[in-house]
Structure 1
Amino acid sequence: MATLIQSYEQQYSVLTADITAKISRLISCNEENRDQLSREILSNFEEANDLLEQLELESRSAGAGSRVGAYRVELLRVQDEYRAVVASHAAKYNIDNEIEDYEDWSGLADQQRMLLDNTERVERTGKTITEGYRLVLETEQIGAAVLQDLSVQRETIQRSRGRLRETDEQLNRSSRLLNSMVMRALQDRFVLSVVFVVLGGLGCLAIYFTVT
């Protein structure tokens, strides 16, 4: 694709150089050769326009930067130079056919200027669309990163909840164990109290029988 674009650009450069050379010859040629040379120049202009259209299509297909706008400006400059030469000869020799060709070409030049303006607007629109697409991609990437962060935070919260449940269960077991130990301690104290009471009663009985 790039080789084809370079080939079109080389053909365009050679063609514009040939047109410029023919315009220089047109200034000094005689009346007999001037009509044929003018037809050749007009045909070369049409061929140059076709080349620029093909170059623009290939550049868009390849997604590469295009210099078509600069080439069109250069072609318009050459056309203005040709019209100036034709107008000069028309004033000098009063050639009606040449004037008609010039007027026809003037209308074609206006169409080319309109096409150039449309091309520039299309390029600006394309750049705007590309910029908008880039912003959409950046927004999508940011959204994906945020979703990933939220997913990680959710997993962290779920793990924290799991650890909290485990801690709560351990506290419940510890509380039950502590309650059980307290109950056993109370039971032991009660048993000891009963033993002390019995021993005290037996001691009192022993003292009573000893005295009597």
Structure 2
Amino acid sequence: MTSLIESYEQQYSVLTAEITSEIGKLKRMPADSEKREQIRAINASIDEGLELLEQMGLEIQDVDSATKSSFTSRLNCYQAELKRLTQEFQNAKNETQIQMYDSSDFDELTTSGISSGQQRRLLDNSERIERTGNRLTEGYKTILETESIGASILQDLSSQRETLKTSRARLREANEDLRQSSRIMNSMIMRSLRERAVLFGVITIFVVVVISTFYYAVTH
């Protein structure tokens, strides 16, 4: 089971390295047709990465509890990494679309009689879209950081829960030992009281016999 998960991890590592490289190529490509092909290829790789992580998550559900926490934490990191790559790809794709729009459609609109005011508004809209994309990127980074902190907190809580379970089990054992010791002490006390009662009875009988003997000797 763990060997299959590790195989998925190796495939995922190779795939994310390829996605990172392909995104870098997309940013440097000048030709529109090549960029479209590159975008399709990256989309396919991201879908493959999502499928790998899904399979990994299913396999992790069946591992033993001793290693499940470690695999789950690693899966969370992989998911966060793929989200980051997806957002980076989306930003690169947006920039590509803006460039394609500026280099082709905008020139066609200009030659077809669009006024300078309309051109200016189109440029302003493009700038606003770019600023919005940047804000979304920053917000996504914040989400990733928050998710990482949350995963760390959950891992700490899980560790503390195991510690509490162990401490509770030890307390139960100590409590049971105390109960057993209390029962033994009570048994010893009761035995001691019985022995004292028997001894007191023997002494009483002995005293009565001595007194009776002495009295009989004196009167006769």
The interval holding the TM-score normalised by the smaller chain is: 0.5 to 0.7
What are the Cα deviations for residues 83-105 of structure 1, in whole angstroms up to 9, with x where unaligned?
A: 23222221222289xxxxxxxxx
Name the residue aligned to 1:145. 174
TM-score normalised over the length of structure 1: 0.67
Contact 1:72 1:116 in 2 (8 A): no
2:93 pairs with 1:64: no
- Structure 2: gaps (5+ residues): 106-132
Name the residue aligned to 1:205. none
What are the Cα deviations for residues 69-126 of structure 1, in whole angstroms up to 9, with x where unaligned?
A: 2222322332233223222221222289xxxxxxxxx9xx99xx99998998799668
TM-score normalised over the length of structure 2: 0.65
Contact 1:23 1:82 in 2 (8 A): yes
How is 1:38-117 mapped onto 2 (pairs within 5 angstroms)?
A: 38-62=39-63, 63-65=68-70, 66-94=73-101
> How many residues are matched?
179
What are the Cα deviations for residues 142-191 of structure 1, in whole angstroms up to 9, with x where unaligned?
A: 23421332122112212321232122112211211122112212222333
Distance 1:149 1:47 in 2: 60
Task: Identify the structure with bigger relative contact order (alpha carbons < 8 Å, sequence gap 6+).
Answer: 2
Residue identity opposite 2:8 in structure 1: Y
Name the residue aligned to 2:11. 11
Name the residue aligned to 1:21. 21
Residue 134 of structure 1 and its aligned partner are, at CA, apart by: 5.3
Distance 2:145 2:7 in 1: 22
Percent identical among aligned pairs is 24
Distance 2:148 2:99 in 1: 38
Please give the root-mean-square deviation of Cα atoms over the aligned residues, in Å: 3.4
Residue identity opposite 1:48 in structure 2: G
Contact 2:23 2:89 in 1 (8 A): yes
Identify the match of residue 166 of structure 1 among 171, 185, 195. Answer: 195
Cα distance change, pair 53–120 in 1 and its aligned pair in 2 (3 A): farther
Distance 2:55 2:144 in 1: 14
Distance 2:75 2:20 in 1: 19
Moved more, 167-176 or 130-139: 130-139
Name the residue aligned to 1:103. none
Distance 1:155 1:143 in 2: 18
Residue 2 of structure 1 and its aligned partner are, at CA, apart by: 2.0
Distance 2:171 2:90 in 1: 57
Distance 1:57 1:171 in 2: 77
How is 1:179-190 mapped onto 2 (pairs within 5 angstroms)?
A: 179-190=208-219
Moved more, 21-30 or 134-143: 134-143
The structure that has the greater radius of gyration is 1
